Structure 1
């Protein structure tokens, strides 16, 4: 029993000695008067020996009668063996007492003991905006409608966009192959109609004028049309290469050689009729290739 009493007295003496060594922190508000709900800053500063470990109140501390809005801690600065810790707490109050005060502690850690040292209480005065209150309170009725700004309904817009995209994806998954096939047939037919119209125009001009330039334009148009349809650089091939590309087709060979003589040799073998016949052969060959590609597209659907 005596040992327990001595141990208790020793602890009290030790705590008293530590309290004498710990300097009291300083805490004060940034303003002497505040309004209800107005933000006010409370600065807490504590100077202590550099060997001491000190902790300041965290966000879970009860700042009553104030509420914590934000806390800002600053790094410890040490000079001459004395360290300075500081923190700024942004507070607000909704209490209506005209005078309110706050004293915050610092916690000094020492082994298994923790010493709590409070700063002197600092007072702040609440500014009263309403001086006289009439009883009973009079309520003013206002039934005038207020124009409300029309706002765009983004959730509904987003819903429509998602629904539309989902619908288009489903349509593409179900009918995508058919749509691609029909589009290819449409482009193929449109290109052939354009080619046939231009080619016949050059051919008719040649029949009327006999100009070699009309033959050259017709052959160039024919090569460009086959280049796009075959997806191969036919327009850059020589006559021999074109004939080989089409498996030595006799009609293509004959027609191109007659046209080459008329263009480069300025010779129209015996008569203009032979050249005109060669242009007709090229037109017929282009139409046959159009039909072949159309059948390939249709057969792709069946597969």
Structure 2
């Protein structure tokens, strides 16, 4: 190998302006190593750097290299290196154009492309003979595996219910409580816009009592105004209920009716917030 390299390098014209690159074999097989010789003649005052393992050797891959000692004659230096490369490409002809770089200026100088032929390891035309007929295997139901996953799922659900069941129940009840409260406020505010309609006022009181009954978990809908006054000990609320009684039973549409709507609505909102904060409604449910 060294003798062949020396013969190759001796054939390079003196003081060449381009790097010289040449494969030491004319053909290569996929996955087999091949040698690439490279040399460059330059001024002895300049330093050059040959490609190393970080260089892109496509369509080859770097394996190793052997760098030879610089030879200087009459102010001209000859640097040379032999690379061991390998390829996995399938093209019939492979080309590679390496370059050297001046150390100080960083300038790159490219060599002429080196060429090598790909030699197939298969002789003749490959032929595939069908020896076994195609047989489609049906997928069986993997009962043990499904059972394993079901048991695991049930265990996870059991742990979640055991440790977080109360928390989930509380969150759900709070959600239902809030939704009913918003629905009540929406309907009650609409009725407050029509205080002069007798049927509207009667329905407003009924809906208020039904909502308070569900909120308090007490038979509010069956209580009279005096009984509600004793229960809540709230004078403005009792006066508002009396104003509604006058409108419903006596047909007296008082100017205080809009204020009565406002008092009953504010009282329901206040009780909702108190019960939600204390959690009393959740514990009783």
TM-score of the superposed pair, with normalisation by structure 1: 0.46
TM-score of the superposed pair, with normalisation by structure 2: 0.49
